[in-house]
Amino acid sequence: MKRAAFLLAFTIAGAARANPLDTFGFGSRGTAMGDAQVADSSDFSANYYNPAGLARARDFQIAVGYFRATHQLETNGQDNHVDPVAGLVGGLVLPGRIFGVPIAFGLGLHVPDDRLSRVRDLPQTQPRWELYDNRNQRLYLAANLAFEPLPWLDIGGGLSFMASTEGTLDISGEANLFNLYQSQLRHQVDASLGAIRYPQFGARVKLGKRAALGVAYRGQFALHLDLSANLYGSLSNLTTALYTLQTSSVDAYLPQQVVVGGSFDPLDRLKVNVDFTWINWSAYVTPVADLNVNLDIPPPAGGWPAGLTPPTVPAKTVVVPLVMSDRIVPHVGIEWHAFDAGKVAGFARAGYSFQKSPVGPQNGITNYVDRDRHTIAFGFGVDIQKPVAILPGDLRFDVHAQFDVMPTATTTKDDPADLVGDYTAGGFIWNLGATLIAGFR
């Protein structure tokens, strides 16, 4: 029953390569500031950006938000219809003190709209937007603990959880070799959704009242996809075939990351954040399945009918490694305290980041499509102190718009007889969203 429930809530459709927050940020404030948050975040978004920031919270916070990222990723000028990423974001921060030391517990969550997890094993020759196609179709959960051992130092850490999958496909019945449309086959899918954990931790150092430095580490993880298929049945009553297939692949791989950055207030109403993220893309695991196939088809008593050739076990795929390069991604964000009218304060934000594509040249048989990515973001926020009597804290409402530009570039093939051939690729991603944070004193 439990598995059946999962099956309803989840589809085996398509390869996650990491987590959606790396691409679209966590919460509208951070996203609007170009994800330059390692030395600045102190709300629920610190669960992703830097757990140490949780220790700065003085109010119990509950946050809920939503975003939708729409892809317009094209090859040869035609939209490949990469699925949008959309879903709830949220979390909480629970501050307190132990032996006089400020501490906080935080929880962060992203729940996709359309599916909790998505898996896909594609032939290595098939073109796919490697970092966007399935990468972000995934549930994310993080739990962290932070404390402030010294007035100028925050330290935090915890675990993030991602969904992983294993499943079995059974097919049985009769295959009509002379008229495939009259085949009677029954299918049964059994899949289970598990979890994998990876660590994250960080620190934040205050440098006076106007500056802070931060550092965060996010661990790597690999989501393994294990699938098996069993086919058993009659071939036109001539003989009985047994076919078993077992595949094992890394369906999702998130490289480890180190983020260092600073947050500065050069003016009373202006905040400037700068982060640099090192991403260990060179450790990326090639997403091609290792197949083990067994085929047992005894010949019919009178031999095979004329024109029928029994299938044979295909040769093992020679996997061409996906070569990727480590990248340092700069992020810049600014926040302007635009107005302060009594209990209401307003903020305007903007940000930029750039990631040079880590994917190596695709001039061979593989087609892991990717392009350099410029991310431009902006947003607004309103903070209302004590909005109603039952909420003696504050209420913050933030919106964001993130626009990714992936300039079109050409991939050429060394082999003129390549069945995919030369292609151009590029496109855009729009990410819009909002977040509401309620703080309780």
Q: Which is nearer to another protein, 309 or 389 (CB)?
A: 309
Residue closer to another protein, measured from CB, 237 or 410 = 410
CA angle 397, 31, 260 (to 5 degrees): 125
Q: What is the x/- site pattern for another protein, positions 270-309, by CB under 8 A?
A: -------------------------------------x-x
C-beta closer to another protein: residue 90 or 393: 90
Any idea what the Cα angle at residue 166 is, between residues 141 and 227, rounded to 5°? 145
- Is residue 70 within 8 Å of residue 63, measured between CB atoms? no
Contact, 50 vs 259, CB < 8 A?
yes
C-beta of residue 339 within 8 angstroms of C-beta of residue 23: no
212 scored as a contact of another protein (CB under 8 A): no
Question: Which of 381, 404, 302 is closest to 82 using CA atoms?
Answer: 404
- Cα within 13 Å of Cα(276), Cβ side: 6
- Token pair recorded at residue 50: 């830097």
Q: Note whether 184 binds another protein by CB under 8 A.
A: no
- Tell me: does residue 76 bind another protein (CB under 8 A): yes
Report the site for another protein in 97-126 (rule: CB under 8 A): 109, 111-116, 118, 120, 126
At closest approach, how far in Å is the CB of 244 from another protein?
15
Task: Determine which residue in the list 89, 163, 334, 395 makes contact with another protein, applying CB under 8 A.
Answer: 163
Cβ proximity to another protein: between 315 and 389 the closer is 315
Is position 410 an interface residue for another protein (rule: CB under 8 A)?
yes
Encoded amino acid at 426, one letter: G
φ and ψ at residue 304, rounded to 5 degrees: -75, 135
Q: If we measure between CA atoms, which residue out of 184, 140, 186 comes closest to residue 163? A: 140
Binding segment toward another protein, per CB under 8 A, in 206-214, 228-236, 242-250, 314-322: 314-322
Candidates 53, 106, 127, 261; binder of another protein (CB under 8 A) is 127
Pairing of strands 153-175, 140-150: antiparallel
- In the bound state with another protein, the residue whose beta carbon lies nearer, of 192 and 280, is 192
Closest contact distance (angstroms) between CB of 68 and another protein is 13
Total count of residues recorded for the chain: 441
Work out whether 312 is an interface residue with another protein (CB under 8 A): yes
Please, which residues bridge with residue 317 across strands?
Answer: none
Among 63, 131, 141, 146, binds another protein (CB under 8 A): 141
Opening angle at CA 205, ends 200 and 208, nearest 5: 155
With contact defined as beta carbons under 8 Å apart, do 83 and 135 qualify?
no
Asked if 364 and 320 count as a contact pair (C-beta separation under 8 A), the reply is yes
User: Under the criterion CB under 8 A, does residue 397 sit at the interface with another protein?
Assistant: no
For the CB of residue 349, give the shortest distance to another protein in the complex, in Å. 29
CB 153 within 8 A of CB 204: yes
Assess 422 for contact with another protein (CB under 8 A).
yes
Q: Which of 9, 101, 242, 283 binds another protein (CB under 8 A)?
A: 9
Q: How far apart are CA 246 and CA 384, in angstroms?
A: 57
Least separation in angstroms between residue 54's CB and another protein is: 19
The reply on whether position 412 binds another protein by CB under 8 A is yes
Interface residues toward another protein, by CB under 8 A: 2, 5-6, 8-11, 13-14, 74-76, 78-83, 87-88, 109, 111-116, 118, 120, 126-129, 133-134, 139, 141, 161, 163, 178-181, 193-195, 197, 307, 309, 312-316, 367, 410-412, 415-425
